Amino acid sequence: MSNKPPTGTRPTPTLTSRGATVRLGPLAKIPDLLRILGYAPESVLPGLGYELGFFEDPELPVSYVAASALLARCVEWTGCEHFGLRLGEGADPTALGLAGFVLMNAPDVGTALRDLVCFLDLHDRGGIATLKTSGDTTLLGFLIVEPGVEALEQVHDLSIAVACNVMRSLCGPAWNPAKVLLPHRKPDDARPWKAFFRSPVHFDAGQSAMAFPSSWLRKPVAAANPALHRLLERQAAALRSQAGSGFVAEVQRVAHGLIAHGACSATRVAAMLGLHERALNRRLQAAGTTFMKLRDAALYDKSRQLLGFSGMNLAEVAEALGYADATTFIRAFHRWSGQTPAQWRREQSHWQTAADRRKPGQPSGATALALGRGPTC
């Protein structure tokens, strides 16, 4: 087995890269998954800049961009386009650290999921969980808010798989979502996704979420400990307060969450932060920015994710972002980037990961030469 990394790949960012961090958490199982797929992690990982001992502490905070790049390199090494999904399959709520222990002791599923939305940033500072109930249907979703993330499809697959395992831990192993929505292109072989979620999976969906009947929110959590829940909730709230990232960052996170549901306005953001709209604007002005700038930045980030990692057409992207039509979106995107969405998409196409361009189990030409064989995926 070759010890060399696949040629033609970008270097992995260092762990000390600036920006958001994520607990190692589910990524701690990467060496085990590499072994399952037929690769020796002690040979693969050092070539990617990681010693095997690095994966022994799931509490270790890692640069979000570096973690996503590691996933991208693992996909290139193994040729397994559902690598992130496989990692998520093996993760239970404890992989989320303190946030997972809080939610598992909540009195009911609704409270547990609200705990997840509130405290996920103790585990993941580069993404946010969302929860939206409309009548009989509830959507539990995940958004990436950190810029510069590679392998977006792997991060989304991993995160929704973990969310599914959270629900199965709360509701019982037989629980299945009504449907799963994923924002990336449909893989050549979607069977691994359908087998794990045990429900219809919709790709190019414009968001990353699971839909299920709202009646599940009222289900008591069988193993809940109310006293322990109160204790852990206080501890989590205290840690969250200590790690506060500032008012502007909080507005950005709320704006990203509302954009996922197509309804981001200063009035709604202010209400979610317990402020009057005028107070929101004054505080942002004092910080040297405006709500419009933050909202546009969030829309630009989300639009690039959808254009770069999905097969959605411009009308579908515009609708997912809350625009009335594609023309309005095209004008906005040109104002942000100096390019039309179609021009940007063409220029970015060469940055797609090798896994986007080959069938499952087939490494890229450079990877195949370096490995000398195909993976067992």
Residue 202 CB burial class (10 angstroms; 0-12, 13-18, ≥19): middle
pTM here?
Answer: 0.75
DSSP class of residue 94?
G
Residue 135: which residues within 8 A CB-CB, separation 6 or more?
Answer: 214
Q: Specify the pLDDT at position 42.
A: 92
Please determine, for residue 372, whether its predicted confidence score (pLDDT) is greater than 60: no
Residue 87 in 3-state DSSP?
helix
Q: What is the pLDDT of residues 78-123, one digit of tens each?
A: 999 999 999 999 999 999 999 999 999 999 999 999 999 989 989 9
Tell me the two tokens of residue 278: 């005028």
Please determine, for residue 41, whether its predicted confidence score (pLDDT) is greater than 50: yes
22: which strand partners? Answer: 62, 124
Interval 59-72 mean pLDDT: 91
Residue 315 to residues 257, 303, 323: CA-CA distances in angstroms?
A: 21, 12, 9
Query: Distance between CA atoms of 285 and 304, rounded to whole angstroms?
Result: 27
Contact 371, 200 (CB under 8 A): no
Residue 141 in 3-state DSSP?
strand
Residue 51 backbone dihedrals phi, psi, to 5 degrees: -80, 155
